[in-house]
C-alpha cells in the first residue's frame, strides 16, 4: 500500500541554503532573522502592519481565541471530523 503523507516537505530552490544558513548562524530556535523577515514580508504581502509566525496550527487557533477574548463560558463550535488540535485549542482557553 502506498503511503499518503500528511505534510511532506518540499525542498527546492533556496530552501537548503536557508536551512544551512540558519544552522550555521545558530538561529534554529527559538527564532531568528529568517522568521523576522518572513513575518515582515508576509505582513507586507497581506497589507497588514504586523504578522506573527507560530510553531503550529494549534498555536494559531489558541492565539486567535485569546486575541478574540474567548474563554470560560463561551461556546465554540467545532467540527466532529477534525484533528484533535482543533478541540484542544478550545479547551486551552476554557471555552
Give the dihedral sign, CA 41/44/50/53: negative
How confident is the model at residue 6, as a pLDDT? 80
More confident call, 44 vs 6: 44
pLDDT tens-digit map of 24-42: 888 877 778 888 999 999 9
Among 75, 67, 71, residue whose Cα is nearest residue 93: 71
How confident is the model at residue 76, as a pLDDT? 95
C-alpha 31/C-alpha 40 separation (Å) is 14
Lowest-confidence segment of 17-26, 33-42, 54-63, 66-75 by average pLDDT: 17-26
Distances (CA, A) of 23 to 37, 52, 56, 85: 16, 22, 21, 29
C-alpha 89/C-alpha 68 separation (Å) is 13
How confident is the model at residue 14, as a pLDDT? 87
Q: Domains of the chain: which residue ranges?
A: 30-92
Global pTM value: 0.69
Amino acid at each position: 500500500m502506498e503511503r499518503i503523507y500528511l505534510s511532506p516537505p518540499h525542498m527546492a530552490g533556496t530552501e537548503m541554503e536557508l536551512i544551512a544558513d540558519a544552522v550555521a548562524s545558530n538561529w534554529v530556535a527559538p527564532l531568528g532573522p529568517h522568521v523576522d523577515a518572513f513575518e515582515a514580508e508576509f505582513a507586507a504581502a497581506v497589507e497588514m502592519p504586523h504578522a506573527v509566525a507560530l510553531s503550529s496550527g494549534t498555536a494559531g487557533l489558541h492565539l486567535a481565541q485569546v486575541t478574540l477574548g474567548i474563554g470560560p463560558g463561551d461556546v465554540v463550535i467545532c467540527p466532529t471530523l477534525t484533528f484533535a488540535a482543533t478541540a484542544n485549542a478550545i479547551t486551552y482557553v476554557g471555552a
